[in-house]
Amino acid sequence: MITRILTIDENSLKLSKKIIDGGGAVAFPTETVYGLGANAFDDNAVKNIFTVKGRPNDNPLIVHVHKDYDITNLVTEIPDYAVKLAQAYLPGPLTMVYKSKGKVSSAVSCGLDTLAVRVPEHEGAQKFLKYVRLPIAAPSANISKHVSPVTAEHVYADLNGRIEVILDGGKCSGGIESTVLDCTGEVPAILRSGLITREMISEIAGDCLVYTPKNGEQVRSPGMKYKHYSPNCETMLFEFGEFEKALIAYDKYANNNIKVCLLCDARTCGLSGSRECLNLGDNGKDIASNLYYKLREGEEKFQIIIAVAPEIDDGIMAGVMNRLTKACRNQ
């Protein structure tokens, strides 16, 4: 199969609809990362997504809908706090989990009685969703466990030959995946941290829990148990206070002619002298936006990435550190 990267226009949208209606998958941009979408009502189309990505079949997908779509077609028991949160933050990088009406393919939620719904803000995503006129089940458009894609070229690098069309919406501005919020309880609970922070949710909903699986408990957001976001090269992660140790490790590799780089915030980069450095930026928003882009750049150019945790302390960093820790986990 030949994979084409296409700008988003009438022709590419028409072709995308044809592929989706025929049970295929199309990659499309969102404000967080690129998604790999299929008709959420079509069993085979949804199962095909798992095959294309090599995704474990117990890790459920998010359904993406157009901003004018009535989600009560798909879900029920929407609490007041969720209505308020949707008014405040949608369209945007917030995925909300509700009781499912069981209308979409059971493969979407891997047999769970809930459904994760997202209304992306990206203009390209909205155009795609409007054109296909269907709820679209979509995980991130990478090979399972690899770093999520934030450009059409990243999608191509992973899925070339496996899908027909990648709609090109430029570089995703958000840079890490949406916040996944469980809205089935009295109080909302964050299952995966992201760009909509706990503080932002509490401000509207009055309260917000952060879900951490207890020992032995079944994981509520199954994606949490897998290795994720990992570049195809060696990685190491140091705490911010361990900067000196990171430099010692760097120098040891460099002296052995191993291509090594640091991955750190702007200030730390400034302290690393003439060493190779991938600069994430100097604030939480930029660091999130650059994280996957720089991890992909690092795996292309280097044999080992030595990450140093950024010193920045704002709400978005919970999501960034969650991704960075998983990317550098050696299992």
Distance CA 21, CA 136 (A): 11
Smallest gap, in angstroms, from Cβ of residue 191 to ligand TXA?
5
Smallest gap, in angstroms, from Cβ of residue 140 to Mg ion?
3
State the binding partner of 178 from ligand TXA, Mg ion, none, CB within 5 to 8 A by kind. Answer: ligand TXA
What are 277-283's contacts with CB under 8 Å, separation 24+?
278/305, 280/310, 282/312, 283/312, 283/314
Q: Distance of CA 145 to CAs 103, 118, 188, 327, Å?
A: 29, 21, 27, 9
State the binding partner of 92 from Mg ion, ligand TXA, none, CB within 5 to 8 A by kind. Answer: none
Write out the H or E segment, with its range, that includes residue 260.
strand 260-264
Query: Site residues (CB under 6 A) for ligand TXA?
Result: 30, 32-33, 35, 59-62, 93, 95, 97, 109, 112, 114-116, 118, 120, 138-140, 177-178, 180, 191-192, 220-223
State the binding partner of 115 from ligand TXA, Mg ion, none, CB within 5 to 8 A by kind. Answer: ligand TXA
Q: Are the C-beta atoms of 40 and 100 separated by less than 8 Å?
A: no
Smallest gap, in angstroms, from Cβ of residue 278 to ligand TXA?
22
Smallest gap, in angstroms, from Cβ of residue 170 to ligand TXA?
15
User: Radius of gyration over alpha carbons of the chain, in Å?
Assistant: 20
Can you say how many angstroms the Cα of residue 30 is from the centroid of all Cα atoms in its chain? Answer: 10
For Mg ion, give the closer residue by CB, 138 or 304.
Answer: 138
State the binding partner of 197 from ligand TXA, Mg ion, none, CB within 5 to 8 A by kind. Answer: none
Distance CA 178, CA 30 (A): 10
For Mg ion, give the closer residue by CB, 139 or 281.
Answer: 139
Give the CA count within 13 Å in the CB-facing half-sphere of 49: 33
For Mg ion, give the closer residue by CB, 55 or 127.
Answer: 55
Smallest gap, in angstroms, from Cβ of residue 270 to ligand TXA?
31
For Mg ion, give the closer residue by CB, 100 or 140.
Answer: 140
- Kindly state the tokens that stand for 24: 């295929």
Q: Which residue number has the CB closest to ligand TXA? A: 223
Query: Site residues (CB under 5 A) for Mg ion?
Result: 140
For Mg ion, give the closer residue by CB, 66 or 192.
Answer: 192
Q: ∠ at Cα 45 (43, 49), nearest 5°?
A: 115
State the binding partner of 105 from Mg ion, ligand TXA, none, CB within 5 to 8 A by kind. Answer: none
